Amino acid sequence: MTSELPLRERKKVATRAALSHAAWSSMLSDGLDSVSPESVAAAVGVSSRTFRNYFAGVEEAIVDELAQRYLTLADQVGDRPPGEPVWESLMQVLPAALPAIMGDRDDFAVLLQAVNDRPTMLAQNLIMFERGRQRLTEVIAARTGANPARDLTPRLYAGAATTALATSAELWARRATDLPLPDLIRTCLRRLSEGIGP
């Protein structure tokens, strides 16, 4: 039980995590403007070309850790007991997993601010969200036996869940409500599941 991954793979993971973490904390302490590929690479002790081998830019590096966690959401849905209705799985997984994914509220608010200020940051964030949504669509299709390329249902489920997630995250970060995060997303999910129409 020494290791699950070969050393080389572990090093790659470590390098990526170190770069992402350095970019993230540099943004928190000094602001996004003072984060550059060079500074991040220097902080970690690799060449700036290596930084580019991992990330297209600092925005991608900053968002990476969050993106990784977000992708695990879909996998957690996939790990629910077989036969459980999709919406029940979402109701179980999302409220429980969200606090860990979002981390500290003030830090997340800083990120959200950066995202809203910078188009490149917005793009990065949206791409990460979209990838998570696609993965969730595939997982749901696999669980229901639907064809992910043709059927509406998995896409509508995944779209609704993503909407609930994004809405909860934003209101929570802005402190627009006193509800704890799990309750907030439960509320969003419930309203979508019961039908948003008249």
Q: Does 132 bind DNA (CB under 7 A)?
A: no
Q: Copy the structure tokens of residue 112.
A: 């959200």
100/149 with CB nearer a copy of itself: 149
Q: Determine, following the binding rule CB under 8 A, whether residue 92 of this chain makes contact with a copy of itself.
A: no
Residue 36: name its binding partner from DNA, a copy of itself, none (Cβ under 5 to 8 Å by kind).
Answer: DNA
Stretch that binds DNA, among 24-32, 46-54, 88-96, 97-105 (CB under 7 A): 46-54
Residues 14, 20, 23: CA angle, nearest 5 degrees: 135
Is 53 a residue that touches DNA (CB under 7 A)? Answer: yes
156 binds DNA (CB under 7 A): no
Q: In this complex, which beta carbon is closest to DNA, that of residue 37 or of residue 95?
A: 37
**Of these partners, DNA, a copy of itself, none, which one is at the site of residue 144 (CB under 5 to 8 Å by kind)?**
none
DSSP labels, 141-190: HHHHT--TTT-HHHHHHHHHHHHHHHHHHHHHHTT---S-HHHHHHHHHH
* Sign, CA torsion 63/67/69/70: positive
- Residue in 175, 74, 77 with CA at minimum distance from that of residue 128: 74
- In the complex with a copy of itself, the residue whose CB is nearer, 26 or 168, is 168
- Rounded CA separation 198/163 (Å): 19
Interaction of residue 38 with DNA, rule CB under 7 A: yes
Binding segment for a copy of itself (CB under 8 A), chosen from 5-13, 41-49, 73-81, 187-195, is: 187-195
Query: Can you give the binding site for a copy of itself, defined by CB under 8 A?
Result: 56, 85, 87-88, 119, 122-124, 126-127, 130, 149-150, 152, 155-157, 159-160, 162-164, 166-167, 170-171, 174, 176-177, 187-188, 191-198
